[in-house]
Structure 1
Amino acid sequence: MSNLLWKALVVSPAVLGATLLVSATAIAAPSTTKEVSTTEAPAVTEFGLSSEVLAQATPAANDAKVIDQVNRYSEEGKENTSLSQVTSVSQFSDVQPTDWAFQALQSLVERYGCIAGYPNGTYRGNRALTRYEFAAGLNACLDRVNELIATATADLVTKQDLATLQRLQEEFSAELATLRGRVDSLEARTAELEANQFSTTTKLVGEAIFAVTDVFGDNTGDVNNTVFQDRVRLGLQTSFTGRDLLTTRLAAGNATPFDIRDTNDVTLPSAEGTQTFQIGSTGNNSVEIDRLTYEAPIGPAQVYLAAAGGRHSHYAAVNNPYFFDKTDGGNGALSAFSAESPIYRIGGGAGIALNIPFGQGGGILRPSSATIGYLANEADSPGAGEGVFNGNYAALGQLNFSLGDRIGLAATYVHAYNGEGSALYDSGLGLTNSAGAPVGVVGTQQANVLPNSASSNSYGLSAAFRPSEKLSVSGFVAYTDVIGSGAGDDFESWTYGAGVALADVGKRGNVLGVFAGAVPYSLNRTGFAGSGDVPYQIEGFYKYRVSDNVSITPGVIYLTSPNQNSDNDDAIIGTLRTTFTF
């Protein structure tokens, strides 16, 4: 075989040019052969290539590698990668008359026009050559010869060249067939993707939650019924650079929290027992944009911009593995309290945040980071006492530390301002109950209701410990000092909790979790009766992974001392949540 190829290369400049043409027109395929430069003299013979170079190789079976090499070659000279025909070899700035292949190139250009180069005036003939690339170049020249024959210019093609090309076709028939098959396959896949793709920069993701839920416990149980609720989110995730992310999310739902009653059968404006899929629900399945954010790196820092629906937990480390599902999704804990520390529920809306790494880390202490953010939930309104800086806002600062590979720590501070008639832990949603009283998404009314404008300072600690790959222990504690503008409006609130999660229980992807603690409460607050008891919540759930896209989560939420009053009957919420993701 090698003798035939040497003679062919000597006899026909068309064949030699085919090898040179590869660097500009070849579709690369993986090969285990050695490689050689096409514009530098070969080390073995005066005219030919080493037999080692053209030794038979086994092509890689992985199409992903083929695509990767195709992309890599197409990225060469990214500033102007399209190829164009040349009419003279002197047009190539990187081909000199002293190059060993100069005459062959010149002959190919003048006789067949079988050479293409980059518009920036380069030929790039010093790129490595494999047997499959040789075959690809040969195929390109065959196409050019066929074109000349079809256009009645066959007199330009000599019988000698045709005979040589025919022999090479036979010699490289396997490689040519392989390349053509791969090209056809890639073209078919590309055509299918182009025909069905949503966008070249945007991915559509979605989540649908079906939940059957009920509450039990004397007065509370009597006034509530078993309900079947839903929430659907469709998100458009767009990346312009591969490192940034623009999130546009549409949401609709009909889920509302249960009506918690006291011993006198009076509705409590409380957020106790609120479940994640009930947060931000429109209540009637009407569609709204509930998140519009953009995240991108700037130097070492990560920037977060929110135009609508911003949350502190979008950009700050929550340290609650398995219980937390970003933005109250349907794959973590059932309740808002168990999902994340309530300190992240103070404020929300539009704003900006930065996550800045610092420290080199050494020994057990790993590199750390600082997080700062500002969110305002009335940023879109130009009215008096509203806007970015004069309306409700919350500014967060957090230090994040990692100890080894298994411990995460965070210290959090939030300074907030809330106007009259609002709730403290409302995630910037401005929620009210059926009677028009402000309610949060977590905590009692004593810890939430702000009848007059008030500022607050909150301090929190959170930690997560993973002693093994399938066991996680996490917890938090937070304290808030509220300074109100009205008489008796000053108060303090506390919240704390801890949980244990076991992963892969019964099946890979399943999670068994138990979380318990005190929801945000304020003892002995002026103007609120029966506020001397701590309201505890205990939740247990088991997420069963049916498939990669479907999970079923049965769980129970147990509430003690609703409205911070042990005389009120305890409430038990039972839920069967099914989550579909796509």
Structure 2
Amino acid sequence: MTKRFWNLFKVSPVLVAAAFFAANSALAAEVNEQVTNVAQLSESQDSNNIGQVTSVSQFSDVQPTDWAFQALQSLVERYGCIAGYPNSTYRGNRALTRYEFAAGLNACLDRVNELIATATADLVSKQDLATLQRLQEEYSAELATLRGRVDGLEARTAELEANQFSTTTKLVGEGIFAVSDVFGGDRAVNAGNPTEDLNYNTTFSDRVRLNLYSSFTGTDQLQIRLNAGNIVSNAGTAATATAPASGTGTNMTRLGFDGDTGNSVAIDKINYAFNFTDAVRVKVDASGGELYENVNTFNPDFASSGRGALSRYGRFSPIYRQGQNGAGLTVTFNPNSAISLTGAYLAPSTGNGVFGANNPGLNNGLFNGDNTIFGQLTFKPNKAFNIGLTYARSYFAGNAANSLFQGTGSAFANNPFGVGTRTESNNYGIQATFQLSSALAISGWGGYTTADARAGVNAGADADLWYWAGSLALKDFGGEGNVLGVIFGQPPKVTGGSIKNVATNVNLDDDTSYHLEGLYKFKLSDNIQVTPGVLVIFNPEHNDANDTIYVGTLRTTFTF
């Protein structure tokens, strides 16, 4: 029995429930892929906008070829017992089958029975009753099959309704298991020659996220996320009086999904999105707000932390890490048109409650502490090409946990004036995606940042920074849903400014690092993806005295 059969006739309310649970399964397969703009919502609403049609002849693709059609047409027009589509089409390419016709007949039988049960039988003529009897006899086999299937659906729906999580909330989960190892000669240093061996053990770690998505109007979304993991940063820690140095010594080797909470569960994200008007989408982040989750990052095949690039830098441009882990507001204008505009304000936090929008103390709060003002203009003339111009003005007031690129790039690029220095920056970016064919896509970004020290020993100094990258995605390579990817670029680097001239022997970015990543996303099923890959960092920390570092990773992602 086809989908068109169920869409054409309102045989039973149980069909609505069945569609609801099918949609739940589809959502679980696309974890963290939220409805983020008015265009998506409009398309969703249009596809479900089913109205009432009260004449068989209104179905433009149904052919009135025999007496049964004429008889049913007459019944429908008198009793209004068939539901169709407001554009007067059946949305098919053939005439009705006997089963589909029987569904319409069943609807009319139910309507007549309803009239009889409510003591309005005088509204039903004897001629109509005779016509119904003749139709029922001719289509008795189809009606019996139809009712049997409806009974089965009702029983199944009753079971699902009794065990459903919530009528307004969907639970969407993601679990990551990762095996990783690092190879190389020495541990990277910012400047000079390395002196410590790169000793690294193979790790096996995990990250689990549970998202609760609630909708109260059908076009809004409340997200509450629980997070737990034990994936430590490959960069490691510096040597102390009680412990030797660990890790690679550079954030350039970080994985895109790292984060260590000791597997303690915490609510790390709360936000609410809604349509202010048909052309304006608003998102309010109370905790854990990220620009890269609120706007288009122009790297669709590799942006996701669980299903995208393996590395941190390979996911998207560092400009989207401004205001990371913040609270604030994001507004998107005209997302349905070829040109759209997004504006945002975020007050970032360390995530431990000491700094950020939730703290009224000095150099904190929603407006007086660390903050980012963001704007992005997007131009999408067609589905194959998409380009964006981005600007972000960021300020951090001496918070040691924040930096220019939130741990992406060299140590000098993240803190050119020293860790914890009050800094203001202007960030400019251009990003684009080009879908060359259904099987081949390229994406890329470039960025320029000017930073100024507002306090400390380097007060008044400035720095210029550049970064760029490009990615290639071969889709359905080796099987449907698989993606072979290559990412190459230069992580953020200090290229000029007064700080580069005066910072003799301290964190100089005199050379150039290159980021090369190869990965293969293998789709075992709709809910399981396995991604092996290798990350290679040439001249780590923009210092050619450092050895090349290799990071091998096997990530398995489960979604449910």
- TM-score for both structures, normalised by structure 1: 0.68
Within 1, Cα distance between the matches of 2:164 and 2:115?
Answer: 34
Q: CA RMSD of the aligned region, Å? A: 3.9
Equivalent of 2:154, from 187, 198, 201?
A: 187
In structure 2, the CA distance between the partners of 1:463 and 1:137, relative to structure 1 (3 Å rule), is closer
Contact 1:315 1:353 in 2 (8 A): yes
CA distance in 1 between counterparts of 2:548 and 2:12 reads 71
Alignment match, 1:514: 486
Cα distance in 2 for residues equivalent to 1:412 and 1:137: 59
Aligned residue among 67, 71, 89 for 1:54: 71
Displacement of 1:554 in angstroms is 0.6
Inter-partner Cα distance in structure 2 for 1:289 and 1:136: 50
SS at match of 1:228: strand
Residue 558 in structure 1 maps to residue 542 in structure 2:
no
1:132 equivalent among 106, 131, 137:
106
Residues 319-364 of structure 1: per-residue CA shift (max 9 Å, x gap): 1131212xx2x1111011010000111212111011112896xxxx
Long gaps (5+) in structure 2: 1-9, 16-49, 59-66, 75-81, 87-102, 188-196, 349-355
Correspondent of 1:205 among 165, 172, 181? 172
Structure 2 residue 547 is the aligned partner of structure 1 residue 569: yes
- Does the 8 Å CA contact 2:56/2:73 hold for their aligned counterparts? no
Asked if structure 2 preserves the Cα contact closer than 8 Å seen for 1:323 and 1:333, the reply is: yes
Match of 2:334 in 1: 357
8 Å CA contact 1:372–1:398 kept in 2: the answer is yes
CA distance in 1, matches of 2:147, 2:116: 13
Residue in 2 that maps onto 1:305:
284
1:136–1:176 CA contact under 8 A, matched in 2? no
Residue 177 of structure 1 deviates from its aligned partner by 4.6
2:57–2:73: 8 Å Cα contact kept in structure 1? Answer: no
Q: Which amino acid aligns with 1:540?
A: G
Aligned equivalent of 2:519: 541
Partners of 1:426 and 1:252 in 2: how far apart? 26
What SS class does the counterpart of residue 500 from structure 1 fall into? strand
C-alpha displacement at 1:451, in angstroms?
A: 2.7
Q: Could you tell me which residue of structure 1 aligns to residue 428 of structure 2?
A: 459
Q: How far off is 1:171 after superposition?
A: 6.6
Give the counterpart of 2:456 among 471, 476, 486: 486
Q: Which amino acid aligns with 1:487?
A: V
Change (3 A) 1:168 1:451: closer
Q: Are the aligned partners of 2:283 and 2:330 in contact in 1 as well (CA < 8 Å)?
A: yes
* Secondary structure at 1:399 match in 2: strand
What is the identity, as a one-letter code, of the residue corresponding to 1:520? P
Equivalent AA in structure 2 for residue 576 of structure 1: L
Q: 2-side partners of 1:469 and 1:252: how far apart?
A: 36
Give the CA deviation at 1:138.
3.9
Q: Is the 8 A contact 1:33 1:131 kept in 2?
A: no
Residue 467 of structure 1 deviates from its aligned partner by: 1.4
Q: Please point out which of 369, 384, 408 is paired with 2:340.
A: 369
Extract unaligned runs of 5+ from structure 1.
Answer: 1-24, 38-49, 58-67, 73-128, 146-156, 361-366, 428-439
Give the secondary-structure state (helix, strand or coil) at the position aligned to 1:276.
Answer: coil
Identity of aligned residues (%): 39
In 1: Cα distance, 2:12 partner to 2:382 partner: 46
Residue deviations 1:242-282 (CA, integer Å, cap 9, x gap): 2222111111000011246999x96676421111110xx23
Query: Are 2:390 and 2:429, in contact at CA under 8 Å, matched by a contact in 1?
Result: yes
1:172 matched to 2:136? The reply is: yes
2:400 equivalent in structure 1: 422
User: How many residues of Structure 1 are paired with residues of Structure 2 in the alignment?
Assistant: 446
Tell whether 2:456 aligns with 1:502: no
In the alignment, what sits opposite 1:339?
A: 315
State the secondary structure of the residue aligned to 1:566.
Answer: coil
CA distance in 1 between counterparts of 2:265 and 2:404 reads 21
Name the SS for the 1:400 alignment partner: strand
User: Equivalent residue for 1:282?
Assistant: 260
Which residue of the other structure, out of 212, 231, 234, is the alignment partner of 1:236? 212
**SS state at 2:314 partner:** helix
- Residue 409 of structure 2: which of 422, 443, 466 is its match? 443
CA offset digits 1:276-309 (Å, max 9, x no partner): 110xx23310111122122222210111111111
Q: In the alignment, residue 445 of structure 1 is paired with which amino acid?
A: A
For residues 466-485 of structure 1, give each alpha carbon's deviation from its aligned partner in whole angstroms, at most 9, with x where no partner exists: 21111111111111111112
Q: Is the 8 A contact 2:515 2:537 kept in 1?
A: yes
Report if aligned partners of 1:223, 1:259 keep a CA contact under 8 Å in 2.
no
Is the deviation greater in 406-415 or in 176-185?
176-185
Amino acid at match of 1:353: T
Normalising by structure 2, we get a TM-score of: 0.71
Q: In structure 1, what is the equivalent of residue 383 of structure 2?
A: 405
